[in-house]
Structures are given as structure tokens and as C-alpha cells.
Structure 1
Amino acid sequence: MASLDNTGWSVPGLLVALLLGVLPVNGLEVSTGKVSSIEAMNGSTVLLPCTYSSCIGIKNLYFNWQFNDNGTMVKFCDGVIPSEGVEPRVKVEHERVEFVGSSKTNNISILLWNITFEDDGEYICFAKNPKEKGRNHSAIFTLKVVNQMKEDDNTLTVIIVSVLGGVIGLVIIVMVIKALVVHFLLKDDEKNKECLVNASGNDNTENGLTGAKADNKGTPKL
């Protein structure tokens, strides 16, 4: 009898699956998104995001949100999603928590209203999928509560923009000066050519008039 591993696959079957590339991968996963932390002002309302995914689907997916209160885990809410596309049955256990997720978008996010400095810390989104032999996964989202939001220091950006603006302005000024110099040089060159043409024409005319006068003079009478 072929032995089975803890996933239910026989050893020969596992080897064949690996060779054929058909072994199931990317089981249940939960994620709080690309940004796993947020800074928010005291008294505001924040979204604690979480989504789930499974390559083989879900059945009676269990999930919950917990807050790490100095090592003590405090449950905010939990629920069960019977199957794909079916909205969950959610139980909220905190007065300032609102469930805003939907199984249609694989979303199990919550809102935390009117946050205080006591809400500062880590929030854990957990899910367990019985369809994958109870596979579970969790993700951490960190909330930092502050009195006021930090202003972005744009000093470096302003310096870079100013330098680039100055360089571009200098280049434009140089190009304008160059264009004016070329324009005046061409204009002077045209004037010089015109003067040379006029001078040459005057010389020819004067020479022609002198010869004509000499030819028209008659022989003086005695």
C-alpha cells in the first residue's frame, strides 16, 4: 500500500505530480495589501484592509480580526463564508468596529471608528479554509496613532526643481543670444555685400562717362 503524506498525496502520486507540474500551489492566503502599515490622526476612522485568495476555492472559510494588546490578543470580529460569492455571517465584538468586506471581492476588511492612542499597534487578519484540510494563513497590519500628520519635507524636491529650472532658463538665454548674434552677423554681412556691389557699379559708371566725354570731343579748330 502506497504511503500518504500529510497533504493526502501518495508518494508515487506526489512524484508524478511534481514531474507533470500539476501539484496544487498557492493555497489559502490572506493579505493586507502592498502597504502593511498606516499613520492616522487621533479621533479619525481608519480602514484595516484584508483580502483572501485560494486556488482551489473555499468552503466554510473562517476568518477573524484580532488586536495585539501588549501580548494579549483581543478579538474584534469573526465570521464564516459558506462558499464562493456567499456573504459571510459576521459577529462583531467591538463597539467601534464595522465589517465592510464582501465575499464577492474576497474582502474581509473592517473599519475602526474614532481611534485613540490605545488603538496604536498590530492588527492580525486570520483565515482558515476547511476545504484545504484546515489550511490557515494570517497577515499583520500596523496602525500608528498620532496627534497630527507629519508634513512631507519637500526641500530636496524644491532644490532639484529650482536647479533644473535655472539650467533650462540659462540654456534658453544662451540660445536667444546666439540667435541674435547670428542675426546681426548675417545682417552686417548683407550690408557689406551691398556696399561692395554699389561700389563696383559706381566705378564702372564713372569709367564709362569719362570715355564718352573723350570720344565726343571734336578736333579743335585752328
Structure 2
Amino acid sequence: MASVDSTGSSVSGRLRLGDILYSAVAVVLLLGSWSANGLEISTGKVTSMKAMNGSTVLLPCTYNSCIGIRNLYFNWHYNDNGTMIKLCEGVIPAEGAEPRVSVTHDRVEFVGSTKTQNISILLWNITFEDEGHYICFGRNQKEKNRNHSAIFTLYVVDQIKEIDNTLTVIIVSVLGGVIGAVILIMVIKALVVHFLLKDNEKNKECLVSSGNDNTENGLSGAKADNKGTPKA
């Protein structure tokens, strides 16, 4: 009897272990699916830009969540050599509701809208000191405060260098002139051939007409005159 109980206990233990492993795998899969559909913060495909000193720039940022949002908290920070300076922050209560925004920088303007899932800002009258990394951060309460962030890099320059397209313009002009000359030659050739063919047709018509006239007015009469006088 002891051996039977031991075997039964061993089988029961293996079953419980199998149930635990199965549950763990299911939890991992669910967490992976939740993570894939979680909050995403993005500054777009272009994550950096060059702007002139004294200009106004748009720092783009959008959010997305397949699960939906509730009390989505977001903010913008500027990384000043390791010191994080807050530019603005806000909360979006629910889907479609406009955010409550607090701006903490005198040259920053919030220009986002929940209609486009946009939490972008404008930075006015930039200086060389504004160059660096700007971090857009979001945290979604509906996803147990899942958070995500994206970095946008700003470079401030004295002037935007214009690309010298002189060589390209020259090449395009030359190619255009060559193509135009070839087309003009082809048109002239076609016209010359057309007029030559027309002249040839006229010459042929003149020759045929002249031959017919000679036959009717001269050659037939000459043949008649050359005939001998009929004998009596």
C-alpha cells in the first residue's frame, strides 16, 4: 500500500507541476501580447533637425495605444548636460478629451491635439544654448502606468548651407539643348523628305502628262503622215 500511495503522490505532483508550467507560459504570452499593444511615444521617422539661430522650431511627438488611454500623463524635458529641465507637462483624461497642459518654459508653446494623438510643442526664438536632446515622455494609467519615451535632437546653426546646384543646372541645360537640337534636326529632316517626295510626285505627274500630250498631238499625226499614198 505504501508503494501505491507513493506512486499516486508522485503522479499528482507531476500533474501540479505541469499545471504550473502551463499557467506560467500562458501568463508570459498574455504579457507579451499586452506589451506589443502598449503605449508608444514617437517623434516620427526624422529624429533630428538643423535650425537657424533665432528661428522657431516644431518638436514633434505623437502617442498611440491599441488598448486605449485613461489619464495619460506626458511631459517634455530638455537634457542640459545631464540636468533634466522640464518644459511642459499635461494629462489627457480619456480618448478624445483635450489635455490639461502646464507650460514651464517661457519660449515653449503646446500645439498638440488629441484629434491627431499629437503632443508636440513649439520652441520660439531658439539660441545656440537650446541645442541638444529633447525627451517626450508618456505614462498611461489604463495600462498600469506603462510608460514610453522618445528623443528628438536639435542642432542650432548660424545659417543653413545652400546646396550648390550650378553643375546640375549646367548638365541639365546641356542635355536639354542636345535633346532639343536632335528633335529640331529630326523635324527638319522629316519636312525635307516630305517636300522632296512631293516634288518627285509632281515631276512624275508632269512627265506622264507630257507624254500623253505628245501622243495625242504629235506622234500619232507623224505616223499618219509617214504612211505612203495609197496606190490607185
TM-score tier, shorter chain, comes to 0.7 to 0.9
Provide the TM-score with structure 1 as the length reference.
Answer: 0.81
SS of equivalent residue, structure 1 residue 23: helix
Q: Aligned in 2, Cα 1:159/1:87: closer, same or farther, shift over 3 Å?
A: same
Quick one: distance in 2 between partners of 1:166 and 1:3? 80
What is the CA distance between 1:134 and its match in structure 2?
2.4
Unaligned runs of 5+ in 1: none
SS of equivalent residue, structure 1 residue 124: strand
Report the more deviating stretch, 147-156 or 35-44.
147-156
Quick one: distance in 2 between partners of 1:76 and 1:15? 38
Equivalent of 1:13, from 26, 33, 57? 26
1:208 aligns with 2:217: no
Provide the TM-score with structure 2 as the length reference.
Answer: 0.78
CA deviation digits over 1:24-78, x for unaligned, max 9? Answer: 4331111112322222221122111111000001112111111111222211111
Q: Aligned in 2, Cα 1:172/1:46: closer, same or farther, shift over 3 Å?
A: same
Match of 1:144 in 2: 155
Quick one: distance in 2 between partners of 1:150 and 1:104? 36
Q: Aligned in 2, Cα 1:37/1:188: closer, same or farther, shift over 3 Å?
A: same
Equivalent of 1:23, from 23, 28, 33? 33
Match of 2:192 in 1: 181
CA deviation digits over 1:151-174, x for unaligned, max 9? Answer: 233235424532441243033113
Quick one: distance in 1 between partners of 2:207 and 2:88? 99
SS of equivalent residue, structure 1 residue 76: strand
Quick one: distance in 1 between partners of 2:151 and 2:168? 33
Report the more deviating stretch, 47-56 or 77-86.
77-86
Match of 2:146 in 1: 135
Percent identity of the aligned residues?
68
Unaligned runs of 5+ in 2: 1-15
Match of 2:90 in 1: 79
What is the CA distance between 1:17 and its match in structure 2?
6.2
Instruction: Check whether the contact 1:78–1:91 (CA below 8 A) recurs between aligned residues.
Output: yes
Match of 1:56 in 2: 67
Match of 2:76 in 1: 65
SS of equivalent residue, structure 1 residue 65: strand
Instruction: Check whether the contact 1:84–1:104 (CA below 8 A) recurs between aligned residues.
Output: no
Kindly provide the amino acid, as one letter, of the partner of residue 33 in structure 2: L
Q: Which has the higher helix share?
A: 2
Q: Aligned in 2, Cα 1:13/1:146: closer, same or farther, shift over 3 Å?
A: same
SS of equivalent residue, structure 2 residue 194: helix
SS of equivalent residue, structure 2 residue 33: coil
Give the alignment's Cα RMSD to 1 decimal.
3.0
Kindly provide the amino acid, as one letter, of the partner of residue 182 in structure 1: V
CA deviation digits over 1:110-154, x for unaligned, max 9? Answer: 111111111111111111112222221111112122222222332
Count of equivalent residues: 212
